[in-house]
Amino acid sequence: MSNYFYVAPEQLIKDRAEFAQKGIARGRSIVAAIFDVGVVLVAENPSASLYKISEIYDRIAFAGVGKYNEFDRLREAGIRWADGTGYTYSREDVDARALANYYAQHLGDMFTEGQKPLEVEILVAQLGNKFRPTKLYRIAYEGTISDEENFAVLGGDAETIKGRFAALEVGHLSLADTLKNAVTALAGPERELPVGDLEVGVLEDRGDRRTFARLSDEQIAGLLT
């Protein structure tokens, strides 16, 4: 017979939260911001093939920090959910808020009932149109969902980066200015981020149904000069 020791729920949650936070803090951060005509997502990511930012649907993008395999599985589930919903109903019925809620439920379940909480923090961004607003939903490891105004920062050093970005970004600027501010905020005062270490995704209307675009190193360099 095995022995179970009593652990107070407060202690259990504290331990789990610490565990998840430690995992997330190891990763580098992401800044997502609304600019004058779209949404830009900027990640510090030295890998050119293991992406942190990706397309979910026509007007929805995804970003994740923490353990790659865990947030990548969430990304795949999001694409399946969006394509499945659009196929069953209509493309117009695919809404970022519904997806963010499903993510929040899943992360919440894993936090309280899973073997271990997921060591991830994710963001669902939606580019608005006549029917829906432009939105940034941040979902934390324990399932807390927050509707961020203007910009959101994910990752270990979020509070510091948030402060730096808020000081620079006043109102909705152009893509180039917002990107510059995001990179400055991510880098901090002591270092400079090379273009090769940046991953940038943009949601913007270009006349196509699909609004997501991944920027190349040349495009990023062009916007930063």
Partner 1 sequence: MGLPLFDAQSDPGPSFVRFAEMAGLTLPPAPSEHSAHATTVAAVRYADGVVMVGDRQATSYYVANRDVRKIEPADRYTALAISGSAARGIEFIRLAQLSFEHYEKMSDSALSLEGKANYLSPLIQRNNLTSALVVLPLLAGWDLAHQCGRIFEYDGAGGCYERHDFAVIGSGSPFADSTLRLGYRADMNRDDALALAALAIYEAADNDPSTGGPDFVRSIFPMIVTLTSEGFRELDQDVAASTFRSINDRRSESGGVAGGTLR
Q: Applying CB under 8 A, which residues contact partner 1?
A: 51, 54-56, 73, 76-81, 83-88, 102-103, 105-106, 210
In terms of Cβ atoms closer than 10 Å to its own Cβ (0-12, 13-18, 19+), residue 190 is: exposed
Q: Scan for tokens 């947030």, then name that residue.
A: 71
Sign of torsion over alpha carbons 216, 75, 108, 148: positive
Nearer to partner 1, 14 or 80 (CB): 80
Nearer to partner 1, 90 or 225 (CB): 90
Distance of closest approach, residue 56 Cβ to partner 1, in angstroms: 7
Nearer to partner 1, 107 or 153 (CB): 107
Distance of closest approach, residue 49 Cβ to partner 1, in angstroms: 8
Tokens of 48: 């050119």
Distance of closest approach, residue 92 Cβ to partner 1, in angstroms: 15
Tokens of 52: 């942190």
Nearer to partner 1, 62 or 165 (CB): 62
Nearer to partner 1, 150 or 219 (CB): 219
Nearer to partner 1, 105 or 144 (CB): 105
Task: Please tell me the distance from the alpha carbon of residue 194 to that of residue 185, in angstroms, as a whole number.
Answer: 14
Distance of closest approach, residue 84 Cβ to partner 1, in angstroms: 6
Task: Please tell me the distance from the alpha carbon of residue 35 to that of residue 179, in angstroms, as a whole number.
Answer: 9
Distance of closest approach, residue 33 Cβ to partner 1, in angstroms: 23
Distance of closest approach, residue 207 Cβ to partner 1, in angstroms: 13
Residue (of 133, 128, 79) closest to 103 by Cα position: 79
In terms of Cβ atoms closer than 10 Å to its own Cβ (0-12, 13-18, 19+), residue 168 is: middle
Task: Please tell me the distance from the alpha carbon of residue 225 to that of residue 214, in angstroms, as a whole number.
Answer: 18
- Strand, coil or helix: what is 156? coil
Q: What are phi and psi of 155, to 5 degrees?
A: 115, 180
